Amino acid sequence: MSPEALSELISSIAHNLVAAGQAGALTDELIPPVDKLAVMRPKDRAHGDWASNIAMQLAKKAGMKPRDLAEPFAAALAEADGIAKVEVAGPGFINITLDSASAAAVVDTVLAAGAVTDADKHLNKVNEYGRNDHLGGQTLNLEFVSANPTGPIHIGGTRWAAVGDAMARVLEYLASVVFRDTGAGYVATPPVQDSARFFLIGGSKVTPFLFIALAVFLVMAFVMTKTKLGYTITALGKNPSFAEATGLRSRRTVILLMLISGALAGIAGTGHMLSEKTFYTLDFSGSPGLGWDGMLIALLGRHSPGGILAAALFYSALKTGSEAIGLYANVPNEIVAVIQSLIILFLAVRFLNEKYGLAERLREKLAARRALGEEGKA
C-alpha cells in the first residue's frame, strides 16, 4: 500500500466516522483534503511502517480528546486490506504496520507502471509510477556541486552531482519547476538563445547595446544637468539637511531616484545578459563586483556626467586589458589589481581631505613647527 493510498483510506474513514456519529462535532466540511492528511515514517521503525496524526489534527474540531478520536480510526484501519497492525501511541499518534504481502505489492505496481519519455531527455524512458502534481505550480531553486575554491577539491566532491541530479528528478516527478540549467551544477537558467542575443560588431566584443547605453547616458546627463529633478537630486546628495530646510521633497525624490536607479540597473543587466553572460544565476556569480565597480566609477568621475563617462571608459579598458596583459606582455596581470587599489586609496584620501580638511591641518602643523624652529634658532 502506497502512502498516497493510505492517505485516501484515512480520509475515507474520517468521513465514515462523521456519518456514523463517532467523530463528535466534526463535519465533512471540516475534514482537510487528502493532500493535507499525509502519513509519515516513524523515527523508530519498530513503531510501524507509517504514522498519522489525523486524530490530533481533528480533535479540536470534533470537541474530543485526540486519543479518544484516534481509537475509532485505529479500529477502522485495522480492518483494511494490507494492514497487519494498528496502534495508538502517545497523545494520539496512529502507528500503522503493513503486512508483507502489501509491501511487496508496491514492487509489482512499480514494474507494471507504463514508461513515458522524459521531457528533459535525461533518460530515453522513465517509469510513470510516482509522478503526480503534488508540487504543481511551484518553482524550486536547487543548487549542488558548489566547489569551494579556497579548499581542497577532490573526486569525492563529485558525489553531489549524482545526489543533486537525483533530487532534481524527484522534484520534477512531483510536477514542480526546478530552476537549474541541466548542463550546470548550480542554480542557473538555460542560456539565452542565439537568435535573442546582440550580435558582435566587426568580430569584436562590442555589441549594439553600446549605442543603447550611450543613448541612456545622454538622457540621464540631460536630466541631471538641465532639469529641476536633476538639481533636486544633486542638492539632496550634497547636503540633505539643507535641501529639506529649503522645502525640497526629499522622501518623494529619494523614492523616485530609487525607481530610476532600478530601471537603469535593469537595462544594464539586460544588456549584459544578452551580450556577454547569456544566462542568469541567483548571485550573478559570473560577474562579481559590478556594483562596486559602479560606485568606484561614480567617485572617480566626481559625480559629473562627463567625468563618469571618462572614468567608465578608463576603468573598462583597465579591466579588459587585465585579461590580455599577461598573455601579450611580460607583465603580471596582478598589476591591474594594484592600480585599482591605488585608485581606491587616492579616492579615500580625497574624501577624507574634503570632509575633515586633512591637507589644511597638515599645512597648519608644518607651519607651526617651522615657526617654533625659527624661534629656537633666534
Instruction: Out of 3.30.1360.70, 3.40.50.10070, 3.40.50.1220, 3.30.2010.10, select the CATH number for domain 3-102.
Output: 3.30.1360.70
Residues 6+ apart with CB under 8 A from 179: 139, 140, 141, 142, 187, 189
User: Which pLDDT value is given to residue 183?
Assistant: 53
Closest CA to 104 of 190, 1, 9, 225: 1
Residue ranges per structural domain of the chain: 3-102, 113-148+155-190, 193-287, 289-378
User: Which pLDDT value is given to residue 77?
Assistant: 92
What average pLDDT does range 347-376 have in this prediction? 80
Query: How far is residue 119 from each of residues 7, 79, 93, 169, 186, measured CA to CA in Å?
Result: 29, 42, 40, 11, 20
The dihedral built from the CA positions of residue 295, 297, 300 and 305, taken in this order, carries a sign that is negative
**Is it the case that residue 282 has pLDDT exceeding 60?**
no
Is 4 in a helix, a strand, or coil? helix
User: Which pLDDT value is given to residue 217?
Assistant: 92
What average pLDDT does range 39-68 have in this prediction? 89
**Is it the case that residue 181 has pLDDT exceeding 60?**
no
User: Which pLDDT value is given to residue 2?
Assistant: 77
pTM greater than 0.85 (yes/no) = no
Q: At 284, which amino acid appears?
A: F
What percentage of the chain carries pLDDT values higher than 90? 22
User: Which pLDDT value is given to residue 219?
Assistant: 93
- Give 186-195 contacts, CB < 8 A, sequence gap 24+: 186/143, 186/144, 186/145, 186/146, 186/281, 186/285, 187/141, 187/142, 187/143, 187/281, 187/282, 188/279, 188/280, 188/281, 189/279, 189/280, 189/281, 190/279, 191/278, 191/279, 192/273, 192/274, 192/278, 192/279
CA distance 77 to 37: 14
What average pLDDT does range 68-94 have in this prediction? 91
pLDDT band at 335 (very low <50, low <70, confident <90, very high): confident
Residue scoring higher pLDDT (142 or 230) = 230
Lowest mean per-residue pLDDT among 111-115, 185-189, 234-238: 185-189
Residue scoring higher pLDDT (220 or 161) = 220
What average pLDDT does range 269-285 have in this prediction? 72
What average pLDDT does range 174-189 have in this prediction? 61
**Is it the case that residue 154 has pLDDT exceeding 80?**
no
Tens-digit pLDDT profile for residues 103-148: 677 777 777 776 655 554 444 455 667 777 777 777 777 766 655 5
User: Which pLDDT value is given to residue 275?
Assistant: 84
**Is it the case that residue 85 has pLDDT exceeding 70?**
yes
What average pLDDT does range 348-363 have in this prediction? 81
CA distance 69 to 320: 72
The answer to whether the CB of 2 falls within 8 A of the CB of 106 is yes
Residue scoring higher pLDDT (172 or 65) = 65
Q: Any idea what DSSP says for residue 179? A: E
User: Which pLDDT value is given to residue 137?
Assistant: 75
Q: At 151, which amino acid appears?
A: G
User: Which pLDDT value is given to residue 186?
Assistant: 54
Q: Any idea what DSSP says for residue 63? A: T
Cell numbers 463528535 correspond to 24
Q: Which of 4-13, 311-320, 330-339, 354-363: highest mean pLDDT?
A: 4-13
- Reported residue count of the chain is 378
